[in-house]
A and B are shown apart, each in its own frame.
Chain A
């Protein structure tokens, strides 16, 4: 029984190490990698009707407007990115030409490039000559003001509310519900002689205060969230079980003292009777081991484990032993005792090299010797606190698993707080995925970094 727990726990923490060694940003933050439109697409436009300037940011209608199928339409080079709260772009009307039949909006891939956005299905267009919104039929609906030369008009998508919104000279027009799915291309169109329009995909500051609008939308969502009610003192309880889970004994002591003296006094929830006990299991020893590992005293840590929990280090090829031996080696490198490090490595790494999962990690450790300033190298992460933390957390989880009352290894690896945060992240991701992958995900780091400015 104990072995099953240990294996699961061991491979979990090895996984954390691998993650720690990988890319600098956690994989979930791939939102920033989504590419945004930067210029106009000259490949799929009808060259006969318009001219796109060399900078690919301005267009001019060169034909004479004869009928409804000679519109000069241009799409952006990429569809609007979706993994965010909003997307927005603007146009500036340089010349309204003969009839001012300019349009701004969004169209799907494969749009008929000779028709105004909004005149065909799966497209939306806000037209300057009549101020109407067209969303897939030839007939539009009253929507906003007309616009002409000298005006700056913007078009945006709000993924949270699934709406399009437009702006004229900084004021919002709309919004209107978006019932088109799939990638949408920012689109502009010109249709009468000499019309000329310049587009801005964000390289220059926008006329419209997008940041303020974004803050406003976030605040709306925040207000809804604040309305949720929490059971009393639930945060307090979660913090307490976090401290107990990881063995922060002194902190808990003072936390409890202060809680008793606070007004109103916070009593420990009795319903968590059994889980509290499991959390308090071996608290003092776990605290001791964490202290030793965090200060780099690995030999002493091994000693204590030998005395208290020999079963954890019994298997010399287990993940726990691997982590501890590697950490000892790292500490020797840190202290500059390179010869000792080499000797230690020779003695210990041999038996780990044969096992697939340890291979790359051993290589990383060995690589430390290659640099004069290893902390600045690719494997510098090994010298950081986070590495010691992983080892300390592993030992902590292993000790928790020796508790005969433990049923689920998950309880040893993850505190309640972590489980709650995972659930929160997963819910956001699932909701976004069901929403055609549009909208923001939840990032704990952003929440922590946000709002600490003056």
Chain B
């Protein structure tokens, strides 16, 4: 072993002693890692769960064929859900609302906030396309009544309508409403609501597990010096922290 690594190890131990942390060498840690057995089929399930929840319909179908893993929800329902998401992302909100109601009329009924956001998006699209009169009519007939029921909705409504007051919409303080990110936000909300209505978790499990890893390492840092994985995409093992 080179002198450099010896010194590094000693520094780690000194640091650990100062804070009474247990030092685990790379060899020891790798042995512990090798004792962990992860089943291939469990990993396949995790990947399938990701593909299905994020809406990669064709990839999920191919994965089913190539790996023999069963998706945890019916793939057909993914196609419908993705159609709704796409419609919102392209600004075809009316179409999206129709599709959601075809899928399950209860979704919008039981989700006033979602419904309001969809209507708000419709308003934004009308304004974007310069249809001022239509926009005003829509705002007053469809959105104002919702605003009366809910203070938060009212504020959002006022904010959206204010877009009409500006000439240079892109640079006005509420210009972000016209940004594509607003469409994506709404699309995400609809996606989550549909998944929930199908009794499926709206988020894939993989990101949670990655967060758990970060958290678990932070927790263990308090008591031990050991090789961490700091670069998730390549899962490279570092050396015990000095």
Contacts and interface: CB of A to CB of B under 8 A. Distances in A.
Given A231-B232, A239-B206, A250-B66, A423 B41 contact: no
A224 B51 CA distance: 26
B141 to A, nearest CB: 30
Contact of B56 (A254, A390, A427): A254
A225 B234 contact: no
A419 interface: yes
B233 A238 contact: yes
B197 to A, nearest CB: 11
Main secondary structure of the interface of A (DSSP, over half): helix
B180 interface: yes
B50 A239 contact: yes
Contacts of A238: 206, 210, 232-233
A347 interface: no
Interface in A427-454: 427-431, 434, 442, 444-445, 447-448, 451-454
Interface stretch (A43-51, A166-174, A328-336, A410-418): A410-418
A421 B208 CA distance: 12
Interface in A287-302: 287, 290-291, 294
A324 B229 CA distance: 35
A294 B200 CA distance: 30
Contacts of A422: 33, 36, 38
Nearest to A426: B32
B205 interface: yes
Nearest to A417: B43
Contacts of A454: 199
Contact of A448 (B46, B66, B235): B46
- Most A CB contacts (10 A, CB to CB) among B33, B184, B216 go to B216
A80 to B, nearest CB: 23
B142 interface: no
Contact of A255 (B29, B56, B211): B56
Contacts of B216: 424, 427-428, 431, 442
B62 A254 contact: yes
Contacts of A451: 201, 205
A310 B235 CA distance: 31
Contacts of B67: 246, 248, 251
Contacts of A231: 232-233
A26 B40 CA distance: 13
A16 to B, nearest CB: 8
B212 A239 contact: no
A354 interface: no
Interface string B11-51: 00000000000101000010011001111111101110111
Contact of B33 (A390, A416, A426): A426
A258 B47 CA distance: 16
Given A28-B37, A251-B62, A445 B233 contact: no
A248 B66 contact: yes
Contacts of A418: 38, 43
B234 A272 contact: yes
A405 interface: no
B72 A427 contact: no
- Most B CB contacts (10 A, CB to CB) among A251, A294, A415 go to A251
Contacts of A258: 56-59
Contacts of B61: 254
A271 B61 CA distance: 29
A26 B37 CA distance: 8
Contacts of B212: 225, 424, 442
Contact of B29 (A230, A290, A426): A426
B47 A447 contact: no
Contact of B66 (A251, A390, A424, A430): A251
Contacts of A445: 39, 42
A237 interface: yes
A203 B106 CA distance: 42
Contacts of B7: none
A430 B68 CA distance: 34
Interface string A259-292: 0000110000101100100000000000100110
Nearest to A287: B66
Contacts of B36: 28, 421-422, 425-426, 429
Interface string B188-228: 00000000000111001111111111111101100110100
B72 A430 contact: no
A225 B208 contact: yes
Contacts of A90: none
Given A238-B232, A251-B63, A424-B213, 8 more contacts: A225-B211, A239-B206, A251-B66, A254-B62, A263-B89, A269-B233, A420-B229, A427-B217
Interface of B: 22, 24, 29, 32-33, 36-43, 45-47, 49-51, 56-59, 61-63, 65-68, 72, 89, 180, 184, 199-201, 204-217, 219-220, 223-224, 226, 229, 232-235, 237
26 contacts: A226-B208, A234-B232, A235-B204, A235-B206, A237-B233, A242-B43, A254-B59, A255-B56, A257-B58, A258-B57, A272-B234, A386-B40, A393-B40, A417-B235, A418-B43, A421-B43, A421-B209, A422-B36, A424-B209, A425-B36, A427-B217, A428-B216, A444-B38, A444-B43, A444-B209, A452-B201
In the A-B complex, the 5 residue pairs with the smallest Cβ-Cβ separation, listed nearest first, are: A419-B235, A427-B216, A228-B211, A454-B199, A416-B235
